[in-house]
Chain A
């Protein structure tokens, strides 16, 4: 068999097994004597638990609560902080907070029992929106105020001085809503004992995160806990930290029940009681002089929900992307994560960047329209370049290829002709947006926090990749095997890489932050190079540790320096037509270009681009998730609508190569980048078609109707 080259067209290694229905997801697994569990959850957003009345439990059935946490265990899950409790204790802080688990052999009996557990509360007034949280509605949720995390960064002169110099000041507030991941496979976990060890099978992105999160809860060393990732049916950030919230209580139950236990969420549970994308409210006050932006002051607030989860890092990424792809001489950006009584917000593809990137692109469009200039030309005049200073006083290290990409996309879409021809409010509109995404963990996080490892094991002519990174649909199993094969000059068939088991592989860090190909792929490339040199030695293994490239200063205490080691860059263009009678928006064209360093596999990248852009268009147009008084109003796939094959037309895409020095074969992260900008392009197109100003997404038809009333 010929060896695999990096540019070869290959068949995804997991495609056939998945298409045949052979791949086993956690819901497909069962074990002897397996018991089932259902979660008993808080039915109110905020209050004290006065009493829990439990029915007589039949033999073999248990109701597990915080009282069952083993001696020495603490009622906490360790994500970034240790604030999220495994079980509610004394009070509840959001609808859906875990109070306990009913466990037993028969699911019908469990449902019957679950409905008969009566919880008496003393209800308190919940804070639901960002404004509620800021205004301390119902009193502070924690720590005296509701700001759970905050940061600022500044560049250039003091903004008061800048405002004094300005010809005019343009101020507006832009908001984004909740978004639900809707990975087609819902969350699920199976726990069991194996040779005295606590074993977790989970649909999850980060097996090592689960192990770290639950160890203190069950008071066991890491070595006593084994996490095995099962084939994961989509995640998008929804399975980054959230599996901890299921695995923790399940392990407490396992310790009592001592038999395998399975818990799979149904769709309604997954919609109502899982983490979401942070709603945001961004206020920009921008100084303009001689038709250019002198500087901007931004207040960026994210709705964190009741616990911190990953929100501080999400907020940082939001702030660091709040000037988009532009180089304003002066900025002051302040971020605040606001506690509320909603389900904790957590990771979702883009991790805080999509909110501010939507806000800044839309703000730029509005300023351009206010000044009477073409939005794209206005944006081009402010583009950041190689060496340009970022909002954290770091510098852009790569050549910024956006000017070339603008050319590609405007030609493919015939942007300039259409932009001139389609008059404001004519029913036709074309919109364009640019964006970037910092690859991997913020600042020196890869070095200071993760310290990723990768190991290759050679047996004869076969090589096994042993890393903790996971396949969740993004194509990583294929990309990683391809990298190893191309370096070792072997056919891809000789390389194996299974779903990780924490007892067998090394910790290569979480599968998040678009870091897997860029960081872990590079580690595998290095390990493979070493292996290739020593190939004649027989059977052996190589293991490498992350090395931070020189010349990237970062101070995590002040957030100054190079926030990211490199960025992916993107441009998306969307054309729409509005129905004259109903104002329903039909998208008629989608074009994009993405600079990702180098595509390890073009077909996989193509699929990521299509899927990311589609999610972004759903985010802007139809995915409305409302929370009233602490309760999500949409609970199924018929009322929370995501795009079908009929909603958007075929996309045209372009990949811009620009090899990245520290990535495998020149590759950078790309999984999140492709989500970051189509929403703003869509809104730009809709604004032009209808002559309206949009300051909040999503904008389903009923909201468009409302906006049009304001114009008329």
Chain B
């Protein structure tokens, strides 16, 4: 089965021709060579493949590309050079949030999604916001603190 699916990815128009049941994650990683989004579990449990789809945080490993007609998709590659993206990435580096790093692009997406909606989250809100992102290395404390740091350092950014 083949279909033509049009969507926007990181601001670029994409025309996909192929099996609409292929996972969005595979299209992003293999067809478009954007390897920042990772596959950790393949069943929407771990959050390593998190992307923004029409502003919502989703796990791209369980979304068929056919469900993305007309969607606006943002991956880590689409936010990492923005002011907000840089703010989070720098806070993660400074705060010691990164160990093996495999979950981190997904964590950055989750943090971006949170801070965009809640510029000044408390600890519980941060823990809730990343509860769909599994990390085996850090025990989460330094990730939580780094998101606090991003909220603090980017105060003006997040109010926009």
Tell whether, in the assembled complex, residue A473 and residue B137 are in contact, meaning their CB atoms are under 8 Å apart: yes
Q: Using A21-B105, A185-B100 as known contacts, say yes or no to A645 and B127 having CB atoms under 8 A apart.
A: yes
Interface residues of A in 3-26 (CB under 8 A from B): 11-12, 14-25
Residues of B within 8 A of A646 (CB): 127-128, 131
Tell whether, in the assembled complex, residue A611 and residue B35 are in contact, meaning their CB atoms are under 8 Å apart: no
Q: Return the contact of B101 from the options A11, A19, A609 (Cβ within 8 A).
A: A19
Q: How near does chain A come to B110, taking the closest CB pair, in angstroms?
A: 10
Tell whether, in the assembled complex, residue A637 and residue B137 are in contact, meaning their CB atoms are under 8 Å apart: no
| B41 within 8 A of partner (CB) | yes
Sorted nearest first, the 8 A-B pairs with minimum C-beta distance are A21-B36, A18-B101, A473-B100, A233-B102, A610-B139, A614-B139, A15-B93, A28-B35
Q: Return the contact of A15 from the options B37, B92, B105, B144 (Cβ within 8 A).
A: B92
B interface, over-half SS: loop
Residues of B within 8 A of A642 (CB): 134, 136
Q: How near does chain B come to A204, taking the closest CB pair, in angstroms?
A: 13
Q: How near does chain A come to B44, taking the closest CB pair, in angstroms?
A: 9
Residues of B within 8 A of A610 (CB): 138-142
Q: Using A11-B93, A472-B100, A473-B137 as known contacts, say yes or no to A21 and B35 having CB atoms under 8 A apart.
A: yes
Q: How near does chain B come to A275, taking the closest CB pair, in angstroms?
A: 16
Tell whether, in the assembled complex, residue B131 and residue A15 are in contact, meaning their CB atoms are under 8 Å apart: no
Tell whether, in the assembled complex, residue A185 and residue B41 are in contact, meaning their CB atoms are under 8 Å apart: no
Known: A607-B137, A611-B137. 17 other contacts (CB 8 A): A11-B94, A14-B101, A15-B101, A17-B101, A18-B105, A20-B105, A183-B102, A184-B48, A266-B42, A607-B142, A610-B142, A611-B139, A637-B40, A644-B131, A645-B144, A648-B139, A651-B141
Interface residues of B in 100-144 (CB under 8 A from A): 100-105, 108, 123, 126-128, 130-144
Residues of B within 8 A of A612 (CB): 139
Tell whether, in the assembled complex, residue B76 and residue A637 are in contact, meaning their CB atoms are under 8 Å apart: no
Residues of A within 8 A of B99 (CB): 234, 473-475, 607, 611
Q: Using A184-B46, A184-B48, A610-B140 as known contacts, say yes or no to A20 and B100 having CB atoms under 8 A apart.
A: no
CB-based nearest B residue for A614: B139
Q: Using A19-B89, A185-B102 as known contacts, say yes or no to A607 and B96 having CB atoms under 8 A apart.
A: yes
Residues of B within 8 A of A502 (CB): none
| A613 within 8 A of partner (CB) | yes
Residues of B within 8 A of A604 (CB): 96
How far apart sit A299 and B145, CA to CA, in the bound complex (Å)? 44
Q: Return the contact of A606 from the options B41, B94, B96, B132 (Cβ within 8 A).
A: B96
A interface, over-half SS: loop
CB-based nearest B residue for A650: B141
6 A-B residue pairings within 8 Å (CB atoms):
A15-B92, A267-B40, A612-B139, A615-B139, A642-B134, A646-B128
Tell whether, in the assembled complex, residue B76 and residue A21 are in contact, meaning their CB atoms are under 8 Å apart: yes
Using a Cβ–Cβ cut-off of 8 Å, how many residues does chain A contribute to the interface with B?
57
| A56 within 8 A of partner (CB) | no
A-B contact count (CB 8 A): 172
> A465-500, CB under 8 A of B: which get 1 and which 0?
000000011110000000000000000000000000
Tell whether, in the assembled complex, residue A18 and residue B136 are in contact, meaning their CB atoms are under 8 Å apart: no
Q: How near does chain A come to B49, taking the closest CB pair, in angstroms?
A: 11
| B72 within 8 A of partner (CB) | no
> A171-185, CB under 8 A of B: which get 1 and which 0?
000000000011111
Q: How near does chain B come to A555, taking the closest CB pair, in angstroms?
A: 38
Tell whether, in the assembled complex, residue A16 and residue B89 are in contact, meaning their CB atoms are under 8 Å apart: yes
CB-based nearest B residue for A182: B136
| A49 within 8 A of partner (CB) | no
| B77 within 8 A of partner (CB) | yes
Q: Return the contact of A233 from the options B43, B92, B100 (Cβ within 8 A).
A: B100
| B52 within 8 A of partner (CB) | no
Q: How near does chain A come to B150, taking the closest CB pair, in angstroms?
A: 11
Residues of B within 8 A of A19 (CB): 80, 88-89, 92-93, 97-98, 101, 104-105, 108
Residue picked from B38, B41, B42, B97, most chain A C-beta under 10 Å = B41
> B74-88, CB under 8 A of A: which get 1 and which 0?
011100100000001
Q: Using A21-B35, A636-B41, A650-B141 as known contacts, say yes or no to A644 and B134 having CB atoms under 8 A apart.
A: yes
